[in-house]
Amino acid sequence: MTRPYILYGLPHSLYTGPARAYLRKSGVAFVERSAREPEFRQQVMPAIGRSIIPVLVTPEGQIVQDSVDIIDHVEAAGTALSAYPDRPRQLFLAHLFQLFGSQGLLRAAMHYRWSYYDVQGAFLDHAFGVSGADDDPSRGAMRKMQSYLPGLGVRPDTIPLIEQGYHGLLAALEAHLSVHPYLLGGRPSLGDYGLFGPLFAHLGRDPVPSGIMKRQAPSVFRWIERLHAPDLDIPDMPAADGWLAGDAVPETLEALVVEMGAEMGAELADKLAWLEDHYQRLAPADGEPVSAKPHQRTLGVTPSRYRGVPDEVGVQPYLLYMVQRTETALGALAGADRTWADAMLARSGLGALGQPRQARVDRRNHIEVWARP
C-alpha cells in the first residue's frame, strides 16, 4: 500500500491553508498533522533548519517546504485537477492573484487578527493552544506575531485605510464570485489558492473579519467553503464547467486587479527598488542565502506610502520570489495579450511588475537565496 503524503501545519495558519485546499482538490492521499507533534520537531525541523509551516513529506520521504513549492511539487508529479490555466491571460492572472494573496493581503490579515484581540482573544487562544500559564510558549508565539504589525504598516493612522481596503476587496470579490464559483470559472487556479490563504485562515475564520465577510460578502464565504471541499462543490452553479472559455477575463476580475493595486501598488514598487539597491550593493554569489539566519524573513525597511499615507514597511525577499513567478507569466504574453496586461497593470498602479532588474531570488534547500544568471 502506498504511503500517503504528510502535511504538517496548523488550522489557523495562513500558508497552510492553500496547501491543504490544493491537496484536497488534487486527489492525492494525504494526512495532516500538527506542527506541534514531536515528529515535526525531531525529524522535520532539523532537515529544514527552522520552525516554519507548511511542510509536506512525500511518500518517498522527500521534504517540501512552502505552500507554493508544495503545489508545484504535486503538479509535477501529476494531478487530476491542475491549478495552472492553459491559456496565457488566465495563467498570468492566476499568478497575479497568487502574488496578492501571498503578499498583498498580509497587512489586512494580521491587522484583523491582532488589533482586535480584546474581542476575539478566546478564539485565538484556543487556536494557538494557550494553556493559561504566563510562561506558556504558545503565548510567546502570539506576542511574536503581534510584534510584526509595525513592520507590516499597521498603525493607528493606517488602520481606517486597511479596513476600508478590506471592505473594497470584499465588494469586488462578491461581484465576481456571485456569478462564478472560482476566479477563472468552474475550477480553482493558483490565484484561488493564493487568495484563500489570508481570506480563510485570518479573514474568513477569525470572529471579527469573518463576521464582516458573512454579512457583506456571502458569495466570498461560499467560495471559501468550496475551496475546502474535496470536490468542486458547485451544485449552486452547475453550469460552470472548467476554465472560462476563450481565455476570457471578465470586467469583474479587472476590477479586482484595481483593488489589488490600491492595496499594494506603491509599496510593491518601493520594496522592489529597495531589493534591487540592496542586491547591487551586496553583489552576492549565486546561491548565497539572502539573510544571515534561515528564520530571518525581513532584510530591512523602506519608506513608502499606503493609500496616500506615508508609511515604512519591512522588506522580505520572498516577495521577489513571488514577483518573478508572476513576471514569467507576464513575459509569456505577446501581441495584444501583452498590451492588455501592461495597460491593466499601469491603470491599477502595478506598473512595477515587468520592469527590468538584476536582483533575483530562488528557493534552494528550503530557504531563499540570491540567484545570478
- How confident is the prediction along the chain (373 residues), in pLDDT tens digits per residue? 578 999 999 999 999 999 999 999 998 899 999 988 999 999 999 989 888 999 999 999 999 999 999 999 999 988 779 999 999 999 999 999 999 999 999 999 999 999 999 999 999 999 988 866 667 777 778 888 898 899 899 999 999 999 999 999 999 999 999 999 999 999 999 999 999 999 999 999 999 999 999 999 999 999 999 999 999 999 999 999 999 999 999 999 999 999 999 999 999 999 999 999 999 999 999 999 999 887 788 999 999 999 999 999 999 999 999 999 999 999 999 999 999 999 999 999 999 999 999 999 999 989 999 998 7
Residue 1 confidence (pLDDT): 53
Cell 458569495, residue located = 219
Tell me whether residue 278 is exposed, middle or buried, using C-beta atoms within 10 angstroms of its C-beta: 0 to 12, 13 to 18, 19 or more: middle
Tell me whether residue 265 is exposed, middle or buried, using C-beta atoms within 10 angstroms of its C-beta: 0 to 12, 13 to 18, 19 or more: buried
Cα dihedral: 88, 94, 95, 96 (round 10): 100
Residue 134 confidence (pLDDT): 66
User: Which three cell numbers mark 295?
Assistant: 528564520
What angle do helix axes 137-146 and 106-114 make, rounded to 10 degrees? 130
Which amino acid does the sequence have at 308? G
Residue 60 CB contacts under 8 Å (≥ 6 apart), including other chains? none
E strand or H helix at 281: helix 251-282
E strand or H helix at 250: none
Among 249, 201, 216, 244, smallest CA distance to 105 is for 201
Concatenate the DSSP letters of all residues of 150-200 into one string: GGGT--TTTHHHHHHHHHHHHHHHHHHHTT-SBTTBSS--HHHHHHHHHHH
Residue 132 confidence (pLDDT): 65
